Structure formats: structure tokens, C-alpha cells
Amino acid sequence: MGKKTGFFGYKAAVGAFLVIFVNLGACTTLVTFLATLADYSGHSIGAVGQIGTVNTICNVVLSLAATRVLPKLGAQKTMLISVIACAAHMMFYTFVTPGANSQSLLFMYIAGGVASLAITFGTHAVCSSVIAEWFVEKRAQVTGWVLSGAGLGAAIWVFLAGQLFKVTDYKNCYRIFSAMVLVIGLFAVFFLIKKPEQLGQRPLGADSVRTDGGQTAELPGVSYGDALKSGAFKVLVLALLFTTIGGTAYLSYAPTWWQMNGMSASGAAVWNSAYLLLAGLLLLVAGNISGKLGMKGFVIYVCIAYILTFVCMILWPASGAAYLMVLTIIFAAAAYPVNASIPSFVGTAAFGSREFGQISAALMVAVYIGQALASPLMAALLTTEGGMGLAWKVFAATTAIGMILLVTALKMSPMEKQ
């Protein structure tokens, strides 16, 4: 393809934003329809809720596959698979029939597994690789913009699901959303996701990375193999496990905790939507914040924000004070990068951008394992006398441990030594 005038990188960033926006946003709408799926199919909430377990297991397995698929297929083809999978997973839910039959349960579990293709092949790791291809300068800032599609997508798609559900049944909602995913996602993949060499361009800031002989050098960083062998990678994996557990627990159980302590279901939904919207907006400036604080400062900022979130969660039931709810939402939104962008931000700082697509995919395996551990740990804590209140204290502790490990991994990183 001939050389194009004008830097295309920002258009590629918009494409990555749209892909993560449709994939994570559409997959998040399950929370709106979960109770309806159980009621319509005749299966219990517990049985239907195992969709999440299937999804998490598949996330782990497919993340391992993504480390091999991404370098072979490239971001465009990988994202194409993700968009088609996202649209398809919603259609599987429309095959459910009444009567508590095993076939309906199987379709729901298949939907959860197919959603994993959308999540692992078209969200954080792949989108981060697109940014790494186009940006040496402004990478953290642009990464924040792109990954904000996760929070904004969740807020907007869940809101749309609630509004559409008022006028039609869940099957028509999913059919409409499936078409929307294809329209937005395929436009992004075919028209916006390009590689610099396809357009005869170079990443922004690449010309400033030069060898002593004056030649332009390869992008800074270590290889995928060297990253996996490093002590920093092992510590970072452990750190992501600890930080992700608490973040996932908040995402999954905060509305339930509020309802357990007297809040209505609609009230909890409103507060949760406010949290997701604010989280998405703050993700837009996450790169700017990390640039000002430095990566170690940014890690401390988001982890302390989650710890303060859990403190507010513990204090709120005793007083029911509105200001504690407001603080909970603010702190949780500020901490949202733990769920959405810490692997990309910290991974780039620790290992550079040379082969970051593969490195990010490997780091996301730790994130998905942490997500998988959150529910069993919460279930175990719910059987204790302290119940969910004790759980928030435990998750505050795991987040603090994760923060220490993240800072340690950065100090040990190959890029720090250089």
C-alpha cells in the first residue's frame, strides 16, 4: 500500500477503543439479563451463574492461546475474530427455551465460553499491542484513552440494556446488540486497525530512538522470552493476582452488599452505573495521571484508592451516610485501572514495547486467574461469622500486598536496570 499523508496512529487508537468498547461493553450486559435468563429457562440463579465460571476458565486458557495467535495473525485478524465471537455469544442466549432443560443450560455455557474469545482476543492485550505499534511517545496517555473503552463500554451498554429491556424481551435485546456489535466492530477492524508499515509510516516518536551510529533503533524493551525468564515477570504475575482479586470482588459483589444493607435493587443499579461511568471518564486521563506521578506513584495511587473503597464499604452499613456512598464511588472509580489498565501500564514500564503484545497477553493470564479466585474466596468468607464485611477487610489486605509487589516488580524490571 502506498504511503499515506497524515499520521494514522490516532485513527488506529480510535479503532482499538471501539473494539474494546463493543466487546467488553456487550459482554457486561449479562448482569442485566441474568435473573431473567434464570426465570425464563427454569434453572436456578446458581446454575445460570456458572456462566461466569465457564467464562473465567476459558479466559485463562484463551489468554495462553492469545500469546501465540497475536504475533502470527496480527491485531486486525485477532480483533476480527473477537468481534464475530462477541456478536455470536449473544445469539447463543436466544436459543434458550423454557422447561429447565439441559440443552438451554449448555447454550448459556457455550455463550460464556464464546464471550471469552471476545474478551481475550479483542480487549486489553490486543488493544495495547496496537498502541505499542503506533506510539513510542504518548503511549501511556493514548493507552489510557483506549482502555477507557472498557469502563465507558460497560456503563453505556448496561444502561442501553436496561432501557431496551423496558420495551422488549431479552432475546430481542440480544439480537439488536449483536447487530450493533457487528456494525461498530467491523467498521473499526477493517477501516481503522492498520499497521504502520501498511501505510508507510513509523510509530510516533520512533525517530527519536536512535543508535550511537545515528540509525533508527528497534523499539525499546526486552523480548517475550527474556521477559518470561525475568524475576520481575514472576513478581508482577503474583502482584496482579493479589490486586485483581479485590477489584473483581468489588465489581461482582458491591451492589449485592448495598442491597444486603437496605438499599433497593434500583438504587444499587443507579450507584453502580454512576461508578462505571466515572471509572470510564477517569480512565481517559489515566495516562496523564501516570505521566505526572510516575509508574510507581500511579500504582500506589490506584491501590490506595481501592483500599479506601473497601474502608468505605465497611463503614457505610453502620450509618447509611450518603457521603460514604459518594466516596465509595469516587475511590472505586479512581481505582478502576487496577481492573482495566495496570497490566498494560506496568507491563510496558517493566519490559518496554518491543514485543509487548505477547507480554501483555501473558500478564492477562494472571489477571484472569485472579478473577477466577475472587468468587471462591468470597464464597468461603461468606460462610464465616464476619461474612461479606470480613471479606472487604481481606480484600483491602490483598490489595495492599499487591501494591507492594507491583512496586517491587518495577524496581526489578529490565527497563529500570537499563
Identity at 275, one-letter amino acid code: Y
User: For residue 19, what are the contacts with CB-CB under 8 A and spacing of at least 6?
Assistant: 79, 82, 83, 122, 123, 126, 127, 149, 185, 188, 189, 193
The cell numbers describing 262, all together, are 437496605
- For the chain, domains (ranges, CATH) are 9-203 (1.20.1250.20), 224-417 (1.20.1250.20)
The cell numbers describing 287, all together, are 495516562
What number of residues does the chain have? 418
Contact 339, 247 (CB under 8 A): yes
The DSSP secondary structure of 159-204, one letter per residue, reads: HHHHHHHTTS-HHHHHHHHHHHHHHHHHHHHHHT---GGGGT---B
The helix/strand/coil state of 135 is strand
Distance separating alpha carbons of residues 191 and 70, to the nearest angstrom = 19
| Residue-by-residue pLDDT tens, the chain, 418 positions | 334 458 999 999 999 999 999 999 899 888 778 878 988 999 987 788 788 888 888 988 888 888 788 888 999 999 999 999 999 999 999 999 999 999 999 999 999 999 999 999 998 878 888 998 898 888 878 887 887 787 788 888 888 887 888 899 999 999 999 999 999 999 999 999 999 999 999 888 877 655 444 444 466 778 888 888 899 999 999 999 999 999 988 987 888 889 889 888 668 777 887 888 888 888 778 778 888 888 899 999 999 999 999 999 999 999 889 999 999 999 999 998 887 677 777 888 888 877 777 787 788 888 888 888 887 888 888 889 999 999 999 999 999 999 999 999 999 988 776 5
